[in-house]
Structure 1
Amino acid sequence: MGTLMKESLDIAAEKFKSFGFNEEQINQLLATGKRDLEQEIEKLKTLLAEDSFNHEKINQSLHAIKGLLYNLGNNEAGDIMAELKNNQDSSEQINKIKKTLNL
Protein backbone atom coordinates (compact mmCIF):
# COMPACT_ATOMS: atom_id res chain seq x y z
CA MET A 1 0.00 0.00 0.00
CA GLY A 2 2.91 2.34 0.69
CA THR A 3 3.92 2.67 -2.94
CA LEU A 4 0.34 3.15 -4.14
CA MET A 5 -0.26 5.77 -1.46
CA LYS A 6 2.97 7.68 -2.13
CA GLU A 7 2.47 7.56 -5.88
CA SER A 8 -1.13 8.78 -5.58
CA LEU A 9 -0.27 11.61 -3.19
CA ASP A 10 2.66 12.73 -5.37
CA ILE A 11 0.40 12.85 -8.43
CA ALA A 12 -2.27 14.73 -6.48
CA ALA A 13 0.22 17.28 -5.13
CA GLU A 14 1.41 18.10 -8.65
CA LYS A 15 -2.15 18.41 -9.94
CA PHE A 16 -3.21 20.63 -7.05
CA LYS A 17 -0.18 22.88 -7.62
CA SER A 18 -1.03 23.16 -11.30
CA PHE A 19 -4.59 24.15 -10.35
CA GLY A 20 -3.19 27.04 -8.30
CA PHE A 21 -3.87 25.78 -4.78
CA ASN A 22 -1.59 27.18 -2.09
CA GLU A 23 0.60 24.99 0.15
CA GLU A 24 -1.87 24.95 3.05
CA GLN A 25 -4.75 23.94 0.78
CA ILE A 26 -2.65 21.23 -0.85
CA ASN A 27 -1.60 19.80 2.51
CA GLN A 28 -5.21 19.71 3.69
CA LEU A 29 -6.40 18.02 0.49
CA LEU A 30 -3.58 15.47 0.64
CA ALA A 31 -4.28 14.68 4.30
CA THR A 32 -7.95 14.12 3.56
CA GLY A 33 -7.21 11.99 0.51
CA LYS A 34 -4.68 9.91 2.43
CA ARG A 35 -7.06 9.39 5.35
CA ASP A 36 -9.94 8.33 3.11
CA LEU A 37 -7.79 5.99 1.03
CA GLU A 38 -6.26 4.39 4.14
CA GLN A 39 -9.70 3.85 5.66
CA GLU A 40 -11.10 2.24 2.53
CA ILE A 41 -8.06 0.01 2.06
CA GLU A 42 -8.35 -1.11 5.71
CA LYS A 43 -12.03 -1.89 5.11
CA LEU A 44 -11.11 -3.97 2.06
CA LYS A 45 -8.34 -5.69 4.01
CA THR A 46 -10.88 -6.72 6.66
CA LEU A 47 -13.30 -8.00 4.01
CA LEU A 48 -10.55 -10.07 2.38
CA ALA A 49 -9.54 -11.59 5.72
CA GLU A 50 -12.99 -13.11 6.29
CA ASP A 51 -13.49 -16.85 5.81
CA SER A 52 -16.16 -16.37 3.16
CA PHE A 53 -15.95 -13.43 0.80
CA ASN A 54 -18.83 -11.00 0.50
CA HIS A 55 -18.33 -10.12 -3.16
CA GLU A 56 -20.86 -7.29 -3.07
CA LYS A 57 -19.05 -5.51 -0.22
CA ILE A 58 -15.65 -6.17 -1.82
CA ASN A 59 -17.03 -4.70 -5.04
CA GLN A 60 -18.26 -1.60 -3.19
CA SER A 61 -14.89 -1.14 -1.52
CA LEU A 62 -12.99 -1.51 -4.79
CA HIS A 63 -15.36 1.02 -6.34
CA ALA A 64 -14.67 3.48 -3.52
CA ILE A 65 -10.90 2.98 -3.82
CA LYS A 66 -11.15 3.47 -7.58
CA GLY A 67 -12.98 6.77 -7.07
CA LEU A 68 -10.48 7.99 -4.48
CA LEU A 69 -7.57 7.15 -6.78
CA TYR A 70 -9.23 8.99 -9.68
CA ASN A 71 -9.85 12.00 -7.40
CA LEU A 72 -6.15 12.00 -6.50
CA GLY A 73 -5.28 11.90 -10.21
CA ASN A 74 -3.87 8.36 -10.19
CA ASN A 75 -5.91 7.22 -13.18
CA GLU A 76 -3.70 4.21 -13.91
CA ALA A 77 -4.27 2.75 -10.43
CA GLY A 78 -7.97 3.65 -10.65
CA ASP A 79 -8.24 1.72 -13.90
CA ILE A 80 -6.63 -1.30 -12.23
CA MET A 81 -9.21 -1.12 -9.41
CA ALA A 82 -12.01 -0.94 -11.99
CA GLU A 83 -10.70 -4.07 -13.68
CA LEU A 84 -10.35 -5.90 -10.37
CA LYS A 85 -13.85 -4.78 -9.38
CA ASN A 86 -15.36 -6.23 -12.52
CA ASN A 87 -13.60 -9.59 -12.23
CA GLN A 88 -13.38 -10.56 -8.58
CA ASP A 89 -15.52 -13.72 -8.46
CA SER A 90 -12.65 -16.21 -8.35
CA SER A 91 -10.04 -16.89 -5.70
CA GLU A 92 -7.44 -16.02 -8.33
CA GLN A 93 -8.90 -12.53 -8.61
CA ILE A 94 -9.08 -12.17 -4.83
CA ASN A 95 -5.36 -13.01 -4.70
CA LYS A 96 -4.72 -10.45 -7.44
CA ILE A 97 -6.52 -7.79 -5.39
CA LYS A 98 -4.39 -8.64 -2.35
CA LYS A 99 -1.20 -8.53 -4.41
CA THR A 100 -2.10 -5.24 -6.10
CA LEU A 101 -2.75 -3.55 -2.76
CA ASN A 102 0.08 -5.38 -0.95
CA LEU A 103 -2.38 -6.87 1.57
Structure 2
Amino acid sequence: MEKVIEETLKIAKEKFLKFGFKEEQIEQLLASGKRDLLSELEKLKALLATEPYDIEAINKSLHALKGLFFNMGNTEAGDIMADLRKEDNMAENIKKIKAFFKEGHLS
Protein backbone atom coordinates (compact mmCIF):
# COMPACT_ATOMS: atom_id res chain seq x y z
CA MET A 1 0.00 0.00 0.00
CA GLU A 2 2.83 2.38 0.87
CA LYS A 3 4.39 1.78 -2.57
CA VAL A 4 1.33 3.01 -4.47
CA ILE A 5 1.04 6.03 -2.17
CA GLU A 6 4.71 6.97 -2.64
CA GLU A 7 4.40 6.45 -6.40
CA THR A 8 1.31 8.67 -6.44
CA LEU A 9 3.04 11.41 -4.44
CA LYS A 10 5.98 11.35 -6.87
CA ILE A 11 3.65 11.66 -9.86
CA ALA A 12 1.68 14.43 -8.16
CA LYS A 13 4.81 16.42 -7.34
CA GLU A 14 5.91 16.30 -10.98
CA LYS A 15 2.41 17.31 -12.08
CA PHE A 16 2.24 20.24 -9.65
CA LEU A 17 5.72 21.44 -10.66
CA LYS A 18 4.65 21.46 -14.32
CA PHE A 19 1.61 23.56 -13.37
CA GLY A 20 3.93 26.10 -11.77
CA PHE A 21 3.06 25.61 -8.12
CA LYS A 22 5.61 26.81 -5.58
CA GLU A 23 7.43 24.23 -3.46
CA GLU A 24 5.55 25.30 -0.32
CA GLN A 25 2.19 24.85 -2.07
CA ILE A 26 3.25 21.48 -3.42
CA GLU A 27 4.25 20.20 0.00
CA GLN A 28 0.85 21.22 1.39
CA LEU A 29 -0.97 19.55 -1.51
CA LEU A 30 1.07 16.38 -1.13
CA ALA A 31 0.48 16.23 2.62
CA SER A 32 -3.25 16.72 2.11
CA GLY A 33 -3.37 14.16 -0.70
CA LYS A 34 -1.46 11.58 1.32
CA ARG A 35 -3.73 12.13 4.32
CA ASP A 36 -6.84 11.72 2.15
CA LEU A 37 -5.49 8.59 0.45
CA LEU A 38 -4.57 6.98 3.76
CA SER A 39 -7.94 7.87 5.26
CA GLU A 40 -9.89 6.43 2.34
CA LEU A 41 -7.72 3.31 2.17
CA GLU A 42 -8.30 2.71 5.88
CA LYS A 43 -12.03 3.18 5.35
CA LEU A 44 -11.98 0.60 2.55
CA LYS A 45 -9.93 -1.79 4.67
CA ALA A 46 -12.49 -1.50 7.48
CA LEU A 47 -15.35 -2.15 5.05
CA LEU A 48 -13.65 -5.36 3.94
CA ALA A 49 -13.19 -6.53 7.52
CA THR A 50 -16.92 -6.94 8.10
CA GLU A 51 -19.15 -9.50 6.41
CA PRO A 52 -21.61 -9.35 4.81
CA TYR A 53 -19.92 -6.75 2.65
CA ASP A 54 -21.63 -3.43 2.08
CA ILE A 55 -21.09 -3.34 -1.69
CA GLU A 56 -22.51 0.18 -2.03
CA ALA A 57 -20.11 1.54 0.61
CA ILE A 58 -17.18 -0.33 -0.96
CA ASN A 59 -18.04 1.14 -4.36
CA LYS A 60 -18.26 4.65 -2.86
CA SER A 61 -14.83 4.19 -1.31
CA LEU A 62 -13.38 2.89 -4.58
CA HIS A 63 -14.93 5.87 -6.37
CA ALA A 64 -13.35 8.27 -3.87
CA LEU A 65 -9.97 6.56 -4.31
CA LYS A 66 -10.32 6.71 -8.08
CA GLY A 67 -10.85 10.47 -7.85
CA LEU A 68 -7.94 10.97 -5.47
CA PHE A 69 -5.58 8.98 -7.68
CA PHE A 70 -6.71 10.81 -10.83
CA ASN A 71 -6.43 14.22 -9.16
CA MET A 72 -2.89 13.40 -8.12
CA GLY A 73 -1.98 12.23 -11.62
CA ASN A 74 -1.80 8.48 -10.99
CA THR A 75 -4.20 7.50 -13.75
CA GLU A 76 -3.06 3.87 -13.71
CA ALA A 77 -4.16 3.43 -10.08
CA GLY A 78 -7.33 5.42 -10.81
CA ASP A 79 -8.21 3.12 -13.69
CA ILE A 80 -7.69 0.08 -11.46
CA MET A 81 -10.06 1.55 -8.86
CA ALA A 82 -12.63 2.15 -11.60
CA ASP A 83 -12.30 -1.45 -12.80
CA LEU A 84 -12.72 -2.76 -9.25
CA ARG A 85 -16.10 -1.00 -9.01
CA LYS A 86 -17.64 -3.26 -11.66
CA GLU A 87 -20.32 -5.16 -9.80
CA ASP A 88 -20.58 -8.07 -12.25
CA ASN A 89 -17.57 -9.70 -10.59
CA MET A 90 -17.56 -8.14 -7.13
CA ALA A 91 -16.52 -11.33 -5.29
CA GLU A 92 -13.35 -11.54 -7.37
CA ASN A 93 -12.77 -7.80 -7.02
CA ILE A 94 -12.99 -8.05 -3.23
CA LYS A 95 -10.28 -10.73 -3.36
CA LYS A 96 -8.10 -8.38 -5.43
CA ILE A 97 -8.62 -5.52 -2.99
CA LYS A 98 -7.76 -7.73 -0.03
CA ALA A 99 -4.62 -8.90 -1.86
CA PHE A 100 -3.66 -5.26 -2.37
CA PHE A 101 -3.84 -4.63 1.36
CA LYS A 102 -1.89 -7.81 2.07
CA GLU A 103 0.75 -7.60 -0.67
CA GLY A 104 0.90 -3.84 -1.16
CA HIS A 105 0.50 -3.57 -4.91
CA LEU A 106 -2.31 -3.11 -7.39
CA SER A 107 -2.85 -5.55 -10.22
Q: TM-score under structure 1 normalisation?
A: 0.93
* Correspondences of 1:13-92 after superposition (within 5 Å): 13-87=13-87, 89-92=89-92
Q: Distance in 1 between matches of 2:47 and 2:88?
A: 13
Q: Secondary structure at the match of 2:62?
A: helix
CA contact (8 A) 2:45 2:101 kept: no
Q: 1:87 to 1:100 in 2, by over 3 A?
A: farther
Number of paired residues? Answer: 103
Note the residue ranges of structure 1 that are not aligned, 5 or more in a row.
none
Q: 1:25 to 1:76 in 2, by over 3 A?
A: same
CA contact (8 A) 1:62 1:84 kept: yes
Note the residue ranges of structure 2 that are not aligned, 5 or more in a row.
none
The AA in structure 2 aligned to 1:76 is E
Q: Distance in 1 between matches of 2:18 and 2:101?
A: 28
Q: Distance in 2 between matches of 1:25 and 1:88?
A: 41
Q: 1:18 to 1:101 in 2, by over 3 A?
A: farther
Q: Distance in 2 between matches of 1:98 and 1:72?
A: 23
Q: Distance in 1 between matches of 2:2 and 2:67?
A: 18
Q: Secondary structure at the match of 2:73?
A: coil
Tell me by how many angstroms 1:90 deviates: 3.7
1:2-57 Cα deviation digits (max 9, x unpaired): 01100000000000011111110000000000001100000000000002100000
